[in-house]
Amino acid sequence: MALLELQGLTKQFGGLVAVDHVDFDVNEGEILGLIGPNGAGKTTIFNMITGIYPPTEGKIYFRGERIAHPPLTWRQRFSTPVWWVSWLPLPSVKRRWDEVRTLRPHEITERGIARTFQTIRLFKNLTALENVMAGLHHRTHAGVWGAVARPPSQKQEETFIVAEAEKYLAFMGLTDYRDELAKNLPYGHQRRLEIARALAAEPSLLVLDEPAAGLNEQETLELMATIRQIRDSGITILLIEHDMKVVMGICERIVVLDYGKKIAEGTPEEVQNNPRVIEAYLGEEEV
Amino acid sequence: MMTALRERLRTIRPLWWQLGLLGLALLLPLPMGDYYRSVLWRTALYIILGLSLNVIVGYAGLFQLGHAAFYALGAYTTALLNLHWGIPILLTFPISILVAAFFGYLITRPILHLRGDYLCIVTIAFGEVVRLALVNNIFGITGGANGLSGIARPVLFGFAIREPIYHYYMVLLFLVFTIFAVRRLENSRLGRAWMYVREDEVAAEAMGIDTTRVKLLAFVIGSGWAGLAGSLYAAKITVVSPDQAKFLESVVMFCIVVLGGTGSIPGVFVGTLGMVTLPELSRALKEWRDAWLGLAMVTMMIARPEGLWPSRRIRMEIRAAQEEALAAPASGD
């Protein structure tokens, strides 16, 4: 079974069909690239996978569980028995309710999908360490009581959070910037910090939105090595990228989108030689 | 000279500072008359209110311009429980906290997805709803515009707390606990979650933070604590009235937080001195209090938008937001 399955995924913004019945699978342990010209609907797919907005139509399965649904109309809500009792804190109700709704982004992260953003969305005025600590939020539990009374369990948890965060900072080579504010980091390091923050959430699927955008040659090479390293540690990777060197260099499989439709899927070689892909990127040849 | 002095002061251990300030707070009312002791009591009470609002406005970065409603709810809870069932005042405190927190939950749960100004309007409306409900003698129990009177004195081990100075000490006790609690809240997992939500809600949500829950917690904690302040008020004044839920009260609390320095505990002290203590001490200012509020607000927003004693972090955030606004003056969104 594939880790992530997209079936007939569609997103419409008013009259614009940004994503049009796209199907593809992401297999466990692979690096899958999602490419396409500007406006092809790549980021829209990412936003649907991570729950930022619901699809207009279609299904997304993660580990066999459905995580995205088209929004329910009021009529559907009234005729769905579980909607009436969805506020009850019962596990059985919760399970049934999860089957018909779109999960919220934080719930999807809890299930194991973490992401980075195309335009860097770090917590700018917080330190690098604090940024990475954000990823550990859903792996820890202290609440109001823990905060005020500070029982030993809470102290242990705090040490755990800092230690884990430092581990991911070190992994991304950012140890020296531990207490630096995120906004003061060089651009390339900000990109890496975002990946560190996503990794701290301990995902099984890491979704990277143009991780190499704005990086120089050297940084890009380093990033490619890091992405491979992340995959080798057992994390599946789905990435959008414009830099063909990166895509062809690290992706095992590639899905190509154009105007919201999937036009090709296959290994880098297959995709590179696909006439429809060439057409989409270079335009049709005038006869 | 000044910087050298400041460096010297900084080397003193924080514990000594805290003990020193506590000692000062304990000794301060001794040489005073009852009037000034009452002023002190009021100051401490408003600091508690300011700190409770600071959890919502400062830590979670949410607007709340109806905070006085929860203050009034706490006061009325104490009054009603005491007048109808004769429950001792001190025992009504925890119930007031729960009632105010429960209403905080009830009111904010449906409006949490609103942002900025919209949230602000809804909270103002809620404040007015509470005030009007109290004025209109809802369920025939709130005593209408006159409010309720004849609340008993709090009794501790057979000793009735009557004189202003003892009320001051009681409020001081709660104030010390409040400072202790909010400082710990700020530096905790929950406090960080508030910080993340304040900085970038989308990113926070994407990192696995249940933003709705976290914001709700801020409202529930803040409202509940305002309820406690209401009870403390009822315990001293023994009369509660709908005036406590006045919009101006909410504005004063909001000013305490914003003018002192959003998110900063010393800021709330400074804000309370300016907004509550000064008008209380000087007749002229008291008569012109509304004007004073407005003037202070305008001056501060122009000269020092981060407040008089801001928290380092929020000053940074406000400066960054201003720089961004200046860098892109023509952007249409």
Taking only the tens place, the pLDDT of each residue in A174-188 is 999 999 899 999 999
Shortest Cα distance, chain B CAs vs residue A152, angstroms: 14
Indicate if the pLDDT at residue A160 is higher than 90: yes
Is A276 in the B-facing interface, judged by CB distances under 8 Å? Answer: no
CA distance A182 to A128: 5
Record: contact A114-B211, CB cut-off 8 A: no
List chain B residues with CB under 8 Å of A134.
192, 196, 203-204, 207, 209
Question: How many whole angstroms separate alpha carbon B187 and alpha carbon A268?
Answer: 49
Q: What are the φ and ψ backbone dihedral angles of B107, each rounded to 5 degrees? A: -75, -40
**pLDDT confidence band for B2 (50 / 70 / 90):** low
CA nearest to B218 within chain A: A144
Q: Å from A270 to nearest chain B CA?
A: 34
A44 exposure class (CB count in 10 Å sphere: 0-12, 13-18, 19+): buried
Token pair in block for residue A118: 């195309």
The pLDDT of residue A15 is above 90: no
A22 at interface of B, judged by CB pairs closer than 8 A: no
Interface touch B221/A144, C-beta < 8 Å: yes
Residue B331 has a pLDDT of 45
Confidence of residue B290 (pLDDT cuts 50, 70, 90): confident
Contact A201 B190 (CB under 8 A): no
Query: Where does the pLDDT of residue B333 fall: very low under 50, low under 70, confident under 90, or very high at 90 and above?
Result: very low
ipTM: 0.89
A114 pLDDT above the threshold of 80: yes
Q: What is the mean pLDDT of residues B172-190?
A: 92
φ/ψ of B147, rounded to 5, equals 75, -155
Q: Is residue B324 very low, low, confident or very high in pLDDT (cuts 50, 70, 90)?
A: confident
- Please check whether residue A56 touches B, CB under 8 A: no
Nearest chain B Cα distance for residue A214, angstroms? 20
Q: Could you identify the residue written with the tokens 């999937």? A: A262
Rounded average pLDDT over A14-35: 91
Closest-CA distance of chain A to residue B197, Å:
9
B265 neighbors B308 (Cβ within 8 angstroms): no
CA A227 to chain centre: 14
Other C-beta atoms lying within 10 Å of the C-beta of residue A203: 23
Burial zone of B171 (CB within 10 Å; 0-12 exposed, 13-18 middle, 19+ buried):
buried
* Phi-psi domain of A113 (left: phi exceeds 0; alpha: psi -120 through 50; beta: other): beta
- pLDDT score at A284: 64
* Averaged confidence pLDDT in chain B: 86
Per residue in A191-208, pLDDT (tens digit) is 999 999 999 999 999 999
Q: For residue B204, which residues of chain A lie inside 8 Å, CB to CB?
A: 123, 134
Banded model confidence at residue B328, pLDDT cuts 50, 70, 90: low
pLDDT for A171: 93
Question: Searching chain B, which residue's CA lies closest to the CA of residue A199?
Answer: B207
Q: Tell me which range, A158-172, B235-249, B286-300, B302-316, is most confidently predicted by mean pLDDT.
A: A158-172
User: What is the Cα–Cα distance from A194 to B295, expressed in whole angstroms?
Assistant: 44
User: Which region among A45-59, B177-191, B315-329 has the lowest average model confidence (pLDDT)?
Assistant: B315-329
Token reading at B60: 């979670």
- Contact check, Cβ <8 Å, A121/B190: no
For residue A106, the chain B residues in CB contact (below 8 A) are 205-211
Which pLDDT band holds residue B309 (cuts at 50, 70, 90)? confident
Comparing CA positions, the residue from A95, A126, A284 lying closest to residue A194 is A126
Instruction: Verify whether the Cβ–Cβ distance B196 to A158 is below 8 Å.
Output: no
pLDDT in tens, B7-61: 777 777 778 888 888 888 888 888 888 888 889 999 999 999 999 999 999 999 8
Pair A162, A111: CB distance under 8 Å: no
> Which residues in chain B are closer than 8 Å to A135, comparing Cβ atoms?
207-208
H or E element at residue A259: none
∠ at Cα B130 (B129, B134), nearest 5°?
A: 115
**Is A140 near chain B, with CB under 8 Å?**
yes
Q: Which letter, b or e, does each residue of A94-118 get, where b requires 16 or more Cβ atoms within 10 Å of its Cβ? A: eebbbeebbbebbbbbbbbbbbbbe
Which one of A124, A137, A183 has the shortest CB-CB distance to B193? A137
% pLDDT > 70, chain B: 97
Which among B181, B202, B313 is the nearest to A121, CB-wise?
A: B202
Band (B144; pLDDT cuts 50, 70, 90): confident
Residue B1: pLDDT band with limits 50, 70, 90: low
